[in-house]
Structure 1
Amino acid sequence: MATQEHVRREFGEVEENELRLDKEKSEQVINALNQDLADTYTLYHQVKKHHWNVEGAEFRDLHLFLGDAAGNAEEAADELAERAQALGGTPIAGGKAQEEHASVEPEGQDVYDIRTSLENDLEMYGDIIESLRDHIDLAENLGDHATAQILREIIVQTEEDAHHIEHYLEDDTLVLD
């Protein structure tokens, strides 16, 4: 592994930004964005796990949906990381840092039936949605309307994916036991 003698920015250090949001406000928003980033990557990995392991009569539809949902989470993570960087911060990177900053707990490494897996996903989506709402309010209260808008766009897709999972979990089905 290559090492560099001079670190350009230490993690947790916030630089002045060209967006003219003062440093103290930026620090608060960056901390929230890094939590959202960690949560989103935790969701991504769990949904991707279910995408890989889904089986049964509804395999194809669920496999495609879970692949799309993981892609949506990955796109959201990219937006969150880029915004944290634009505000003068350093986005979290790497599994250990993400685990430390995440407010959501992933399921274990075992493979569960798809209904249990989707219930676990829906629980995590709900926790992330609540956190995003809080962080939208935080950004608005600090005068960071652009971050609030980015989070609003992310929450729309997050809620839509959660709503689809809710439909998959309904008890009405054409599949006979």
Structure 2
Amino acid sequence: MSTQKNVQRQAGSVEASPALRLEQEKVEQIVDALQSDLAATYVLYHQLKKHHWNVEGAEFRDIHVFLGEAAGAAEEAADELAERVQALGGVPIAGGKNLEEAAPVAPEDDDVYDIRTSLENDMEMYGDIIEQVRGHVDLTTNLGDHATAEMLRQQLIEIEENAHHIEHYLEDDTLVLDSATN
């Protein structure tokens, strides 16, 4: 633990950047929204990594690779969100406990589940995040922060694409024979 006492900016503070020419009140609303997105994205990242590490079965390889790539995309999105919070004049939320407490989504518990259950849990979390990000696109657009709105739109494309891939994995059709029917 650091004993340094020279705090440059206090966690939770927001000081609108003069360069971006957005009013303080608007910046505070945008930063709050982005902090929530950042927290949700990190919870998603950790859940995807958990499933990436624990996936088993006949379709292991494809799902393992997909979950690793999806987690990587979530990590990149979180970095982009944190950097935007900082650029707007906020202090990005950090630390596992703080992120989990601020997240609008709840992580799966620590137990390991079959991959179908795990992917269903991922799909539920993706759906919640998609709804939130859509709302934040509208919010940032309405507050005149078109750069943040565009960043969120680009992230939404990837979030929806990954959710759609999970939807495919959850379909009933498979090449793997059910041993109970043989």
Q: Assess same fold via TM > 0.5.
A: yes
Deviations 1:53-110 (A, max 9, x none): 0000000000000000000000100010000000000110001110111000111000
The 10-residue stretch of structure 1 (13-22 or 99-108) with the greater mean CA deviation from structure 2: 13-22
Distance in 1, matches of 2:90 and 2:83, equals 9
Q: Map 1:1-177; keep pairs closer than 5 Å.
A: 1-17=1-17, 18-177=19-178
TM superposition shift of 1:2: 2.7
TM superposition shift of 1:47: 0.5
Distance in 1, matches of 2:65 and 2:5, equals 46
TM superposition shift of 1:12: 1.6
TM superposition shift of 1:162: 0.2
Contact 2:47 2:122 (8 Å CA) reproduced: yes
Q: Which amino acid aligns with 2:5?
A: E
TM superposition shift of 1:4: 2.2
Matched residue of 1:103: which SS?
Answer: coil
Residue segments in structure 2 that go unaligned for 5+ positions in a row: none
Matched residue of 1:173: which SS?
Answer: coil
Contact 2:12 2:93 (8 Å CA) reproduced: no
Residue segments in structure 1 that go unaligned for 5+ positions in a row: none
Distance in 2, matches of 1:163 and 1:102, equals 22
Distance in 1, matches of 2:175 and 2:53, equals 24
Deviations 1:5-64 (A, max 9, x none): 221111121113021111111110000000000000000000100000000000000000
Matched residue of 1:172: which SS?
Answer: coil
Runs of 4+ in 1 over 3 A off after TM superposition: none
Distance in 2, matches of 1:16 and 1:117, equals 40
Q: Which amino acid aligns with 1:117?
A: S
Q: Which amino acid aligns with 1:145?
A: H
What count of residue pairs does the alignment treat as equivalent?
Answer: 177
